[in-house]
Amino acid sequence: MPDAEPHAPAGPTVSDDTPPPVQPNKRKRLFLIFAAVIAVAALAYGLHRLIVGDRWVSTDNAYVNAEVAQITPLVAGAVTAVRVSDTQAVRRGQVLVEIDPADARIAVAQAEAQLAQAERRVRQTLATGSALGAQVTGRQADIARARARIITAQADFERAQIDLRRRQALASGGAVSGEELTQARNAFAAAQAGLGVARADLAQANATRGAAEGERAANDALVRGTTVATNPDVLAARARLDQARLDLARTVIRAPFDGVVARRQVQVGQRVAPGAALMSVVPVTQVYVDANYKEVQLADVRPGQPVELTSDLYGDDVMFHGRVAGFSGGTGAAFAVIPAQNASGNWIKVVQRLPVRVTLDPRELAAHPLRLGLSMEATIDTKPR
């Protein structure tokens, strides 16, 4: 009888490579460690937000800006020279453009001639015043002579009147001839006429003196209280001369400050009018940054707080430092060409951005120049120590 086969084990066979089952206590410890790590991370994040995170507000919506000078002529004329080109650095007072000065020089010559004429007229008026004063004195003498003639004529008239009466009394007795009586009558009439002429001469002398006094008064009104230098006509002529000289000086256009030339639009031979844009000068040593922060970031931002900035031009290796100078008067949407009409009824709230002006350290700008429109990243420390 063959041997019986051995019986197979009743349960599943366990391989030698199968790891031993994890003990419940070890699994629990792993969960506790994982939970502790999460708690520590959350606590660290909360502390960071409490101590550091809420202290700094950042934005990458920031750009370099400056008070750009628009170079415009103040006088009209043809351009004779353009001394600069785009991207050229200029110093304050450096000549940028020259305008043909021929017309301005002629205007200066005309103004100088008008000033000389005005001064001559004033001197003539002063001299005329002295002459009119002498005329008034002379007319007073004429009046005195006319009065003396009246006295003489009055005496002749009275004498002729008495002589006529005497002869008329004697003529009735035949003591005086008719011829003598006629002569007496003629003498009386002549004396009477002479008296009338003397009185008319006095009236004429008085009228002449009044006219001379009026002319002197009118002449004095032109120069009273003034000299040749302070006369209104001379002052007006000198003002015209100053204006002409100023227009002549304005034919040479100079840089208002140190900067870089941009957007040159003028060429030699071009005729320009006052106010026409010729070019721009950017003050690269006086640029600032306009950082557009969200309105929810600005609760703790105040003027004077320090700002750290980096530029895409230099990267994170160059750090700029500045200060908050102030806030814009309105958001970008408020100053848009077509402002949002939130009262139309179809409105979705959009977080607005408010430009914050940040001034930069001039020494850092000198070491690492910036240009208008460059992108910046600005971080404000709202709680400086």
Q: What is the pLDDT of residues 255-266, one digit of tens each?
A: 999 999 999 999
Q: Where are the domains of the chain?
A: 55-67+282-381, 69-101+250-281, 104-245
Q: What is the DSSP letter of 92?
A: T
Task: Identify the CATH assignment for 55-67+282-381 out of 3.40.50.620, 2.40.160.10, 2.40.30.170, 2.40.160.20.
Answer: 2.40.30.170
Per the prediction, the chain carries an average pLDDT of 83
pLDDT value at residue 334 = 80
Q: What pLDDT, in 10s, does the model give residues 77-116?
A: 999 999 999 999 999 999 999 999 999 999 999 999 999 9
Structure tokens at 344: 């139309």
pLDDT value at residue 9 = 47
pLDDT value at residue 10 = 47
Confidence of residue 351 (pLDDT cuts 50, 70, 90): confident
- Total residues belonging to the chain: 385
**pLDDT exceeds cutoff 90 at 212:** no
Q: Any idea which residue has 């035949």 for tokens? A: 174
The pTM for the full model equals 0.64
Q: What pLDDT, in 10s, does the model give residues 299-330?
A: 889 999 999 999 999 998 999 999 999 999 88
Q: Is 88 helix (H, G, I), strand (E, B) or coil?
A: coil
Rounded distance, CA 144 to CA 334, Å? 89
Q: What pLDDT, in 10s, does the model give residues 21-67?
A: 546 677 777 778 888 888 888 887 776 666 655 688 999 999 999 99
**pLDDT exceeds cutoff 70 at 237:** yes
CATH of domain 69-101+250-281: 2.40.50.100
Confidence of residue 8 (pLDDT cuts 50, 70, 90): very low
Q: What is the CATH superfamily name and number for domain 104-245?
A: Helix Hairpins (1.10.287.620)
**pLDDT exceeds cutoff 80 at 343:** no
Structure tokens at 147: 């009065």
Q: Taking the chain, what is the end-to-end CA distance rounded to the nearest angstrom?
A: 102
R_g (Cα) of the chain, nearest Å: 54
pLDDT value at residue 384 = 65
Rounded distance, CA 212 to CA 215, Å? 5
pLDDT value at residue 377 = 95
Contact 23, 336 (CB under 8 A): no
Kindly state the average pLDDT of the residues 178-206: 80
Confidence of residue 202 (pLDDT cuts 50, 70, 90): confident
